[in-house]
Amino acid sequence: MAYENIRLEQEGAIATLFIDRPKALNALNTKTLQELESALKSLPADVRVLIVTGGGEKAFVAGADIAEMAALTDAQAQEFGALGHRVMAALEALPIPTIAAVNGFALGGGSELALACDFIYASEKAKLGLPEVGLGVIPGFGGTQRLTRVVGRARAKELIFTGDRIDAAKAKEIGMVLEVLPADGLLAHCRAVAEKIVKNSPLAISKAKQVIEAGADQDLRAANDIERKAFGDLFGSEDQREGMKAFLEKRPATFTGK
């Protein structure tokens, strides 16, 4: 499918989704969010890792489109926020690993998009933050909740209340970003990580992601019960039989995701 504001490229089992409005610093307007929602629903079945990044050299996503938001009524703002939440939830719920390659400004909706991915790698040029209070609103695409779960309540409050932009090094220090890379090496690093992932069982990876997410809001005993059941469920799968047979035969496994 052809899109106006996003671009999806696939190489083998790895897909890269570009937010591609460089003249608007990749800001998320309604059209872009709708295209993201459509793309996430229709990812090719053979994609096993998705990398999300920004088109151009300046921005990952500079935020939601303020030019569009400024004229919204209360009811329209509710609809816009609901669309943003659906997109972030759809990204978060993908059964495959998702990697945010933050290559520049990731402010407001940009940070929210990155936080909806499984993990974040950032360019040394990246700037992250949730500055919405300076516009008289709050993060509206899940930022208050996902940031709190990643960096803790007090640090999330500090960032949201001040509206501060932080550099990639600070984002790594507080646990928002895993690694900081030179700008010209960011995508290569993300792809190298993706290549490691796709060598493993897609069935097991999907189940591990499901268990981590399901257990995050449970107490330890309940979360461990979720893990125990999922562990047992994988036995008898083709991937489990192939993985263990390959190990015993001292050869690389060939996984099918079944």
Q: How far is CA 7 from the centre of its chain?
A: 16
From 112, 158, 213, 227, the catalytic residue:
112
Residue 132 appears among annotated catalytic residues: yes
> Could you tell me how far CA 126 lies from the centroid of its own chain?
16
User: Letter for the amino acid at 101?
Assistant: A
Which residue(s) pair with 102 in the sheet? 122
Q: What H or E segment, with its residue span, contains residue 181?
A: strand 179-181
Active-site residue, selected from the candidate residues 132, 173, 227, 249:
132
Give CA 73 to chain center in angstroms: 29
Instruction: Give, as one character, the DSSP assignment of residue 250.
Output: T
Parallel, antiparallel, or unpaired: how do β-strands 49-54 and 98-102 relate? Answer: parallel
Strand partners, 17: 8, 52
Helix (H, G, I), strand (E, B) or coil at 233: helix
Quote the Cα angle for 59-64-69, to 5°: 145
* Structure-token pair, residue 101: 């390659």
9 included as an active-site residue: no
What is the DSSP secondary structure assignment for residue 217, as one 8-state letter? Answer: T
Active site residues: 112, 132
